Amino acid sequence: MTNVTVIGAQWGDEGKGKIVDWLSSRADVVVRFQGGHNAGHTLVIDGEVFKLSLLPSGIVRGRLSLIGNGVVFDPWHFREEVERLRGQGVAVTPEILQVADTCPLILPFHRELDGLREEASGPAGKIGTTLRGIGPAYEDKVGRRALRVGDLARLDGIDGQLDRLLAHHNALRAGFGHTGIDRRQLKAALAEVAPFVLPFGAPVWRTLDEARRAGRRILFEGAQGVLLDVDHGTYPFVTSSNVVAGQAAAGSGLGPAATGYVLGIVKAYATRVGSGPFPTELRDEIGQRLGERGREFGTVTGRKRRCGWFDAALVRQAIAVSGVHGVALTKLDVLDGFDELQICTGYLLAGEALDYLPSDPRTQVAVEPVFERFGGWSESTFGARSWADLPAQAVKYIRRIEELIGCPVATVSTSPERDDTILVRDPFA
């Protein structure tokens, strides 16, 4: 038996929620290892829709679900999401859900700072943040001034840390022309939410170590996508954490040898939410058609996603930096009925051929994609559960993607429903 790490291998929104839900039936433990409640996962189970943004997807299936130390944690959103799931009949208790006591807290002024910065940047300079305070919370973590989940149990002893934290943020707020943070109000808000959160707090690393020693199957659940990784993505239009598979170890508390098989999730086309380079973006009726058929709106923000053709060069790059063993190809059915498809195989920059996207932001927006044309198919792939159910041309499209990205396709998803999945290789096998 092996453990499995699931990551997005594009710009997020690849359909990780369904794949993690599908894999959770084979797992004993599911752990989130980075990001925050800016990561939207939509699950469709027996026709009912569950929308998660902080909790691990395994919670809906009753699996032991853990929020690792690499996640930044908004206690008020946590309460809201738990109560919403309970309202849908999901049992969410400290027996099946644990939050690492070392998770940094997202506080109200983190969200405010996100908004102040985006507003001050103007339309051209906006990063495209979800305005949920993720970046500022990570800044406080690495600045060693963050409050953490465990601090909720000792609010009377946090004044020294608050001094450091508020000195930093009050200076920032003054620069934006805003008043300082009300210390008493902040402590009162923390005291009010603490009783709800604290029963879930735990040394998650210890729970994972016990699970590993007992031979239990662990599923590591990533958020966003590798192309949004703070080191390996299209910087500065990225998220504030590492998204690559290597973060599964650091963000959960298990060593890298325990993270197992790396499954990269990719759409059969490409999408992106917010600002930043997108070499294969389609600003025409084809892009609009992809968006409408794929229902391309962000789970968290509701923002319309930008759509384009599959970029094999970028996916190949994401696979290399994340050590992906196999990919899960999602939303193949969205391509049904197109007369012609295109796949980006590389780029041209001032006439020079490139097989990767350079790191310089100015270069990233200047490259021209090199496309390979591919015949489409008229038959439906929706709901297919075996290779025999797929049109021959759809199979050829999948095989060509495998060749171009240098990685095998392990699963193919053909609808939002969990069971509409073609299994080529069970990652847990």
Instruction: From the candidates 21, 37, 41, 333, give the one annotated as an active-site residue.
Output: 41
Instruction: From the candidates 13, 101, 140, 333, give the one annotated as an active-site residue.
Output: 13
For the question of residue 13 being annotated catalytic, the response is yes
For the question of residue 232 being annotated catalytic, the response is no
Three-state SS for the chain is: CCCEEEEECCCCCCCHHHHHHHHHCCCCEEEECCECCCCCEEEEECCEEEEECCCCHHHHHCCEEEECCCECECHHHHHHHHHHHHHCCCCCCCCCEEEECCCEECCHHHHHHHHHHHHHHHHHHCCCCCCCCHHHHHHHHHCCCCCEHHHHHCHHHCHHHHHHHHHHHHHHHHHCCCCCCCHHHHHHHHHHHHHHHHHHEECHHHHHHHHHHCCCCEEEECCCCHHHCCCCCCCCCCCCCCCCCCHHHHCCCCCHHHCCEEEEEEECCEEECCCCCCCCECCCHHHHHHHHHCCCECCCCCCECEEECEEHHHHHHHHHHHCCCEEEEECHHHHCCCCEEEEEEEEEECCEEECCCCCCHHHHCCCEEEEEEEECCCCCCCCCCCHHHCCHHHHHHHHHHHHHHCCCEEEEECCCECCCEEECCCCCC
CB 370 within 8 A of CB 344: yes
CB 304 within 8 A of CB 297: yes
Q: Which of 319, 198, 243, 316 is nearest to 39 (CA)?
A: 243
Q: Are strands 306-308 and 270-272 parallel, antiparallel or unpaired?
A: antiparallel
- Catalytic site residues? 13, 41
